[in-house]
Chain A
Amino acid sequence: MAEWVDVCALDELDPEDVMRFDHGGRVYAVYRSENGTPYATDGLCTHEHVCLADGLVLGEEIECPKHNGRFNIRTGAALRAPVSVPLATYPARISAGRIEILI
């Protein structure tokens, strides 16, 4: 059953940035959009298993650092070749000054 898992303090992740979060043997990417809203997705690109946390957040999009493919961080939709398979997304929230994700 999914549960809210603590990721980090809010000020550890800047707006329009991403960080890697490892939990239960899986890699996640946790984001804050330009307006500070937190989001979470699988941490590896669906194209070739590259860590998305090394990529660039542009508004509500994450760009893979290897081939510049892009996903929407809110919906996980694949937006730009060479990615074509969407990312899994997870609910994220701010609670008592900390970012949590539901996984």
Chain B
Amino acid sequence: MVAIPDPQLRDYSLTGRDTIRAKETGLANAEWYHTEVPRKVMKELMKRRDGPAIRDTLIWFALLGGSAWGGIAFWGTWWAVPFWFVYGVMYGSVCDSRWHECGHGTAFRTQWMNDVIYHIASFMVVRNPVSWRWSHARHHTDTIIVGRDPEIACMRPPRLFRLLMSYAGVLDMIDSIRTLLRNAAGRLSAGEKDYIPESEWGKAILAARVHVAIYAMTAAAAAGMFAGGMGWASTIPLLLIGGPRIYGCWHMLMTGLIQHCGLAENVIDHRLNSRTVYMNPISRWIYWNMNYHVEHHMFPMVPYHALPKLHEVVKHDMPPANPSIWDAYREAIPAVLRQARDPGYSFRKPLPPTAQPYKEVPTRG
């Protein structure tokens, strides 16, 4: 007797049943919908500048340095807590948006600046700087296409406990460290081999070894301080390096999980599978305007500092943005809970009368 796979069950691996299906149905590497924007306007929006990212990076480094200083200077008193809170977010959440924008090469006009910050942020966010560059390229080619996109955060049926626990950062950190160690040992998974060209495999392994060496030195420093009788203060190296990826990642998760969760899979219109959310200015600074997520996916060459302007240009063709993070969760949580019972369900936003209809069927060239 031949077992027939349950159509409700999905195979999120990059070499499985849904990969074949995505290729056969034209969902892989498809031509996606995009809003028409006059070339002159788009050229202006795409224009690269160093100024905004230099300003933001100086502020970031100053906050990192200042909060680390305060955390150490006030060690042993309650005054240290707010400093470590700020340091945690600056390290464990800001790193994600800097990794992302510099990985696209759009944050700075000067490419070496993008590359330097990309490598620093990749280390902080515990991502292999080589493999994640390729994984993110695939995420943009095949956004939330099952069997193709390696960056789907909310798989179906959802693992609710895991999603909830992701806010604590521990499970994600364990996964990231496991991947780093595997890469450092010279091994790449089948999925990594699928989206990273073979010519880059050696670079991915080398990068993992450098990261592991820095973490090993950090752990050795903590162990040395403990052996030297420094007690709880021997945790300071771990609070400074690596640890913030756990205790400071909550903002990254808070903003990142509403990018796509609860929305459609296997569509070729970013308005159906991505979410634009209005946020407070502090969150937008931490997140580098990635709250304009539909716009970012539709036009990834527009730098973060121009996304608010792009939003104004295209919003006639977009579903209404969620007015707050809270509102986005009020939309996403019921949708994800329903997906636990009905994995085929997704929340579909109505379009304004000024918008073009959703594009849902792949066109094959």
Question: Which residues of A pack against B, CB within 8 Å?
Answer: 17, 47-49, 54-56, 58, 63, 65-68, 70, 80-82, 84
Contacts and interface: CB of A to CB of B under 8 A. Distances in A.
B245 interface: no
A102 to B, nearest CB: 26
A68 B134 contact: no
Interface in B42-78: 42-43, 46, 48
Contacts of A65: 299-301
Interface stretch (B104-112, B160-168, B178-186, B232-240): B104-112
Interface residues of B, number: 22
B301 A81 contact: no
A49 B29 contact: yes
B139 to A, nearest CB: 10
Interface of B: 29, 42-43, 46, 48, 104-106, 109, 111, 133-134, 137, 140-141, 197, 199-200, 299-301, 365
Given A56-B46, A67-B137, A68-B106, A84 B199 contact: yes
Contacts of A84: 197, 199
B133 A81 contact: yes
Main secondary structure of the interface of B (DSSP, over half): helix
From A17, A47, A65, A67, residue with most partner B Cβ within 10 Å: A67
B43 A17 contact: yes
Nearest to A55: B301
A63 B133 contact: no
B145 to A, nearest CB: 13
Contacts, number: 43
Contact of B137 (A58, A63, A82): A82
Nearest to B134: A82
A25 to B, nearest CB: 13
A54 B301 CA distance: 10
Given A48-B141, A56-B43, A56-B46, A81 B199 contact: no
A66 B29 CA distance: 11
A68 B365 CA distance: 22
Given A17-B43, A48-B29, A67 B48 contact: no
A66 B302 CA distance: 11
Contacts of B299: 65
A84 B42 CA distance: 26
Contact of B133 (A48, A49, A58, A82): A82
Contacts of A56: 43, 46, 48, 301
A56 B140 CA distance: 18
Given A58-B48, A84-B197, A63 B141 contact: no
27 contacts: A47-B137, A48-B29, A48-B141, A49-B29, A54-B42, A56-B48, A56-B301, A58-B48, A63-B105, A65-B299, A65-B301, A66-B140, A66-B141, A66-B300, A67-B141, A68-B104, A68-B300, A68-B301, A80-B111, A81-B133, A81-B134, A81-B137, A82-B133, A82-B134, A82-B137, A84-B197, A84-B199
Given A67-B137, A68-B300, 7 more contacts: A49-B365, A56-B301, A65-B299, A66-B140, A68-B106, A80-B111, A81-B137
